[in-house]
């Protein structure tokens, strides 16, 4: 059985410490399963609070080029759901960091929603985020997920009307994931100027923690978002680093460096400090 | 028969709206705009008038006397969608949806395309209605279908080659969806077949149903009775559903969809989704798919570039499961033979896609009594395929 509420406990602890959560997204099997295993432990040591494990899919229609290539590498390395669950199960001897499966619905549907939720909970997964499964279609996954103590994480977008956000929030658990750009995943030079306003609006309809992702790639951006949201998700920037370092073999150290710098910047921003060297942000 | 889709876009267990949240509000907006348009006599009049004057409808229902005599069985009629402007049935849908885009005030129209027929039909409408147009096309298809790429550019569209995945139609659709996620506020995404998230499968079906409505009226006029069999090629399935839908409640009419068996369905090189696939979720809907044991989408093959999508419209999946329609497949070689046969006997060169329907008709007609009537949807003309056909026949042109 998964330890029900690992996500909830983590946000409670962070809130008590006045911190925002840093959630790295890494594609399982990018470039191989062993690297993914080492990355999870390394990123936790460098300050990651939750981990989103990308489940490879052949047709990732909401992902930009960096994550498309990462997902293709994961697919090539044989990162099936079964292989991912088995890896997480082994990792649970070493870490209790909350782990969320992040992917598209077809591999899950093909595995079987009931069977997946039971196996995922047993392996130590805490939540599932399925990009192409809006609440309208989520019933067949949600029932077994809740029966097994797994959170279903829903996306909210800049195009989501506030009444719909309220309805989605009511059926959500764990946290809400706000997509910060009207677009696919991938690094952006600038954050949406209206992000703060969207956050204030969302706060008025939910008490759940709100994470922000899509487009955040630098410590400066992470710090800025940390002052507005409960969690910061970074994905494509990590996929690009893994790609760049895959051959030299020290991807874990490089990604660890980025994650460490992001978490430091986020903590400083939350304390109201202006960390040295971050004064030249062009945002 | 129950009316489908239901209010949430489901055809039994199939269909639905499996998309990223960013697109959900736009799908609701599209659905509501479409429902209003459908009730608006002005919209219906304009669609009717432009169908007549720009597309060239109604298309003939043509009795193939030579082919019928040669096969010695059921009477074979062709519904001549190949005579539509731009050379295929695709334009029925792009006209309807472009009128919707204008009504919704969208300044930009995008499309995915495989063989390029839908891309050309979309670019045509964008030119007519003075909209910006971008067509996504797998880079392999850009290479294979260079003539259609040139046509689209001539019509003022931007053609964007897609390098991801297998670089063909499914990848073009991924990229069109990615583009739409980023541009949804000013862009109308004009899907070319009865696939994608609700309400697209319903909208495309409705605009293509003009094929079956005309055919039904025409056969009643010529023969004084309903046909016994309808035959159409199926991939996404828009020409087939367009022919079938107005006959769905006429339960005496057999409806047969013909998929691409490529090099044979015993191997991996085919696109026979309904006949050999399993249920899954791709591009916004639940339907039969060609996928591996882990739910990853498989690569496909067909000699007809417009038949190599690894999915199928959800309404076809439903028609199969409730037993209202039958689905079968024919190989590349059979389709090529049929193309030659129809050319020689009737003086009509069909598109390779449509040749699949003709191939099945040629197999089936001799087994049926002479009193029976068969309508084959000739969804497109063959000009675009002459390079491919010549190559397959070992001829240099």
The pLDDT value recorded for residue B144 is 82
The pLDDT value recorded for residue A275 is 54
Describe the crossing of helices A251-270 and A33-45 by its angle, rounded to 10 degrees: 30
Determine the average pLDDT of the residues in A41-52.
98
Q: How confident is the model at residue B171 (pLDDT cuts 50, 70, 90)?
A: very high
Describe the crossing of helices A251-270 and A236-245 by its angle, rounded to 10 degrees: 150
Residue A279 pLDDT greater than 50, yes or no: no
Q: How confident is the model at residue A249 (pLDDT cuts 50, 70, 90)?
A: confident
Which of A106, A155, A160, A172 has the highest number of chain B CBs within 10 A, making it the mutation to test binding with B? A106
Residue A187 pLDDT greater than 90, yes or no: no
Q: What is the DSSP string of A161-197?
A: -HHHHHHHHHH--S-EEEE-SSS-SS--SS--TTHHH
Question: What strands lie across the sheet with B108-113, from one edge to the other?
Answer: B158-162, B132-138, B108-113, B187-189
The pLDDT value recorded for residue A248 is 78
Which two three-digit tokens encode residue A187?
């690094």
pLDDT more than 70, % of chain A: 95
Among the partner residues B18, B24, B291, nearest to A105 by beta-carbon distance: B18
Residue A205 pLDDT greater than 90, yes or no: yes
Name every chain B residue with its beta carbon within 8 A of the beta carbon of A65.
164
Q: How far is CA A73 from CA A36, A80, A243, A246, B171, in A?
A: 12, 12, 9, 11, 17
Residue B1 pLDDT greater than 90, yes or no: no
Q: What is the pLDDT of residues B26-85, one digit of tens each?
A: 999 999 999 999 999 999 999 999 999 999 999 999 999 999 999 999 999 999 999 999
* B294 CB within 8 Å of a chain A CB: yes
The pLDDT value recorded for residue A24 is 98
Q: How far is CA B348 from CA B64, B344, B383, in A?
A: 10, 8, 11
Which of B22, B160, B176, B311 has the highest number of chain A CBs within 10 A, making it the mutation to test binding with A? B22
Active site residues of A: 52, 63
Tell me which residues of chain A have a C-beta less than 8 Å from any C-beta of chain B. 56-65, 68, 75, 80-81, 104-111, 131-134, 136-137, 154-161, 164, 168, 179, 181-184
Q: How confident is the model at residue B342 (pLDDT cuts 50, 70, 90)?
A: very high
The whole-angstrom distance between A182's CA and the closest CA on chain B is 5
**Residue of B307 and B164 predicted with greater confidence:** B307
Mean pLDDT of chain B, nearest integer: 97
Q: What is the pLDDT of residues A2-32, one digit of tens each?
A: 455 899 999 999 999 999 999 999 999 999 9
Asked whether A5 and A11 are in contact (CB, 8 A), the reply is: no
Q: What is the ipTM of this complex?
A: 0.95
C-beta neighbour count of A167 within 10 angstroms: 14
Candidates B10, B89, B283, B316; catalytic one? B89
Determine the average pLDDT of the residues in B246-269.
98
C-beta neighbour count of B32 within 10 angstroms: 12
């Amino acid at each position: 059985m998964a330890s029900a509420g690992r996500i909830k406990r983590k946000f409670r602890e962070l809130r008590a410490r006045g911190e925002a959560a840093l959630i790295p997204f890494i594609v399982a099997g990018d470039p191989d399963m062993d690297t993914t295993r080492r990355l999870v432990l390394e990123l936790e040591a460098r300050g990651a609070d939750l981990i989103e494990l990308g489940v490879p899919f052949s047709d990732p229609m909401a992902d930009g080029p960096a994550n498309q290539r990462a997902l293709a590498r994961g697919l090539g390395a044989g990162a099936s759901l079964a292989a991912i669950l088995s890896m997480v199960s082994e990792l649970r001897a070493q870490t209790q960091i909350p782990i969320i499966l992040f992917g598209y619905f077809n591999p899950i549907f093909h595995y079987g929603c009931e069977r997946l939720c039971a196996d995922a909970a047993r392996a130590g997964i805490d939540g599932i985020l399925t990009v192409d499964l809006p609440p309208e279609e989520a019933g067949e996954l949600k029932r077994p997920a809740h029966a097994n103590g797994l959170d279903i994480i829903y996306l909210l977008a800049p195009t989501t009307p506030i009444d719909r956000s309220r309805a989605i929030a009511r059926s959500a658990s764990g946290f809400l994931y706000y997509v910060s750009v009207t677009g696919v995943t991938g690094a952006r030079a600038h954050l949406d100027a209206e992000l703060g306003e969207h956050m204030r609006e969302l706060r008025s309809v939910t008490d759940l923690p709100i994470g922000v992702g899509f487009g955040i790639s630098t410590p400066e951006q992470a710090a800025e978002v940390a002052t507005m949201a409960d969690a910061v998700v970074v994905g494509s920037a990590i996929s690009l680093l893994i790609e760049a370092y895959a051959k030299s073999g020290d991807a874990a150290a490089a990604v660890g460096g980025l994650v460490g710098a992001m978490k430091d910047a986020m903590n400083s921003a939350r304390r109201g400090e202006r960390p040295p060297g971050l004064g030249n942000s062009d945002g | 028969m129950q009316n489908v889709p239901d209010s949430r876009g489901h055809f039994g267990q199939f269909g639905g709206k499996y998309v990223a949240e960013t697109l959900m509000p736009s799908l609701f907006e599209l659905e509501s705009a479409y429902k209003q348009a459908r009730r608006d006599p002005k919209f219906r009049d304009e669609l009717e008038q432009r169908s007549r004057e720009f597309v060239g409808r109604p298309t003939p229902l043509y009795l193939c006397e030579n082919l019928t005599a040669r096969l010695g069985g059921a009477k074979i009629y062709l519904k001549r969608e190949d005579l539509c402007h731009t050379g295929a049935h695709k334009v029925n849908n792009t006209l309807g949806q472009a009128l919707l885009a204008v009504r919704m005030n969208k300044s930009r129209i995008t499309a995915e395309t495989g063989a390029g027929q839908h891309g050309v039909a979309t670019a045509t409408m964008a030119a007519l209605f003075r909209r910006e147009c971008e067509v996504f096309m797998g880079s392999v298809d850009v290479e294979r279908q260079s003539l259609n790429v040139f046509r689209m550019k001539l019509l003022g569209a931007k053609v964007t080659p897609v390098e991801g995945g297998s670089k063909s139609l499914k990848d073009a659709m991924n990229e069109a969806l990615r583009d739409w996620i980023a541009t949804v506020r000013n862009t109308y995404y004009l899907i070319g077949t009865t696939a994608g998230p609700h309400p697209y499968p319903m909208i495309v079906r409705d605009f293509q149903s003009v094929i079956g409505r005309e055919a039904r009226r025409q056969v009643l006029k010529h023969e004084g009775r309903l046909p016994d069999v309808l035959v159409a090629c199926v991939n996404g399935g828009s020409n087939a559903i367009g022919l079938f839908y107005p006959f769905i409640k006429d339960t005496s009419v057999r409806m047969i969809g013909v998929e691409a068996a490529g090099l044979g369905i015993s191997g991996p090189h085919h696109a026979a989704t309904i006949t050999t696939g399993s249920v899954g979720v791709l591009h916004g809907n639940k339907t039969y798919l060609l996928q591996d044991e882990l739910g990853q989408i498989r690569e496909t093959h067909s000699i007809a570039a417009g038949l190599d999508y690894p999915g199928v419209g959800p309404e076809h999946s439903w028609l199969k499961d409730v037993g209202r329609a039958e689905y079968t497949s024919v190989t590349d070689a059979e389709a090529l033979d049929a193309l030659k046969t129809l050319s020689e006997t009737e003086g009509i060169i069909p598109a390779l896609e449509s040749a699949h329907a003709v191939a099945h008709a040629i197999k089936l007609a001799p087994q049926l009594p002479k009193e029976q009537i068969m309508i084959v949807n000739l969804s497109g003309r063959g000009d675009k395929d002459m390079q491919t056909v010549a190559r397959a026949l070992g001829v240099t042109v």
